[in-house]
Amino acid sequence: MKIHIDNQVNGDDISGSVTCDNILNFFVDGQLEASSNDWKVGSPVSFSDTAHVLAFDCRDEGVIAGIRGSFSNGVVTDSSWRCSTSDDEGWKELGFDDSNWQDATIQTHSDWGNKPTSIASEAKWIWTAGDFTDRHVFCRRRLHPGTRLDLRLDQNDKPKPGEEPVNRVDAAALKHDILYRNKDITSRHEADKQMIIKLENIPNPTFKERIQRALIIKLLKAKMKMGMGIADEIHKKFRNLTD
């Protein structure tokens, strides 16, 4: 059995404005969208709301350094972005694991004033913790957390050719065949929480689906609170029900 969940997107474009002090390259899902060497002027960008990863490549050539941007979907540069001084292979792509990258550091320098004016005031100047001693910085942020969550309870269920690779959330989940597709979940507990919410809101489930759903939710909640060892008995009940 597999439960597949798609968060709906509209297929509309997201617009935004981005900058970097000093040399900017901005990417969406690995594709270059904007380049600039003038931080005072925001670079306009536009991309589909089905995009998954926004990424800044910024090189500092002065005394202070920073990255800033805002987008029409409400995303702004803040401490939720992940940053590094390492140009790791695939860092601009969805499948890249940025768990070893640091949270972005909010820059408090006042030299920038309110420029660029095209960027929303809520957006912060961000960088790595090394401040201007880090001359070349890479920052990224995932969009659509929870998009295409897959809860898989069948070892024979494999992704079809062309589908994203399966992300095994943790070793315990591997044992129980609980997998999430797409690496756009920031933590395993957040993934479990989102799955529970979606399961609880499946429209018009059949009687069997309600029983299965209840056991899966119980399993996920036990996993979140007490670890998979405590969830073993629940999982066995589910296996007995579905085998």
Fold adopted by 10-142: Jelly Rolls (2.60.120)
Q: Is the pLDDT of residue 128 over 60?
A: yes
User: Hey, what amino acid is at 63?
Assistant: V
Q: Are 80 and 186 a contacting pair, CB within 8 Å?
A: no
State the CB neighbour count (10 A cutoff) for residue 167. Answer: 17
Euclidean distance between CA atoms 28 and 141, whole angstroms: 10
Find the mean pLDDT for residues 209-231: 65
Predicted confidence band of residue 69 (pLDDT cuts 50, 70, 90): very high
Rounded mean pLDDT, 94-118: 90
Write down the pTM of the prediction: 0.59
120 burial (CB, 10 Å; 0-12 / 13-18 / 19+) is middle
d(Cα 40, Cα 33) in Å, to the nearest integer?
A: 18
Peptide bond into 203 cis (omega under 30): no
Is residue 183 a contact partner of residue 97, using CB atoms and an 8 Å limit?
Answer: yes
Tens of pLDDT, residue by residue over 18-27, are 999 999 999 9
Of residues 132, 130, 86, the one with CA closest to residue 104? 130
The DSSP result for 15-35, as a single string, is: EEEEEEESEEEEEETTEEEEE
pLDDT of residue 156: 53
Q: What is the pLDDT of residues 82-94, one digit of tens each?
A: 999 999 999 999 8
Out of 26-35, 129-138, 149-158, 227-236, which region has the weakest mean confidence (pLDDT)? 227-236
Q: What is the DSSP letter of 140?
A: E
- Least confident window among 54-58, 96-100, 133-137, 178-182: 178-182
Tell me what pLDDT residue 63 has: 83
CA–CA dist 123, 131 (Å, integer): 18
Domain ranges of the chain: 10-142, 146-242
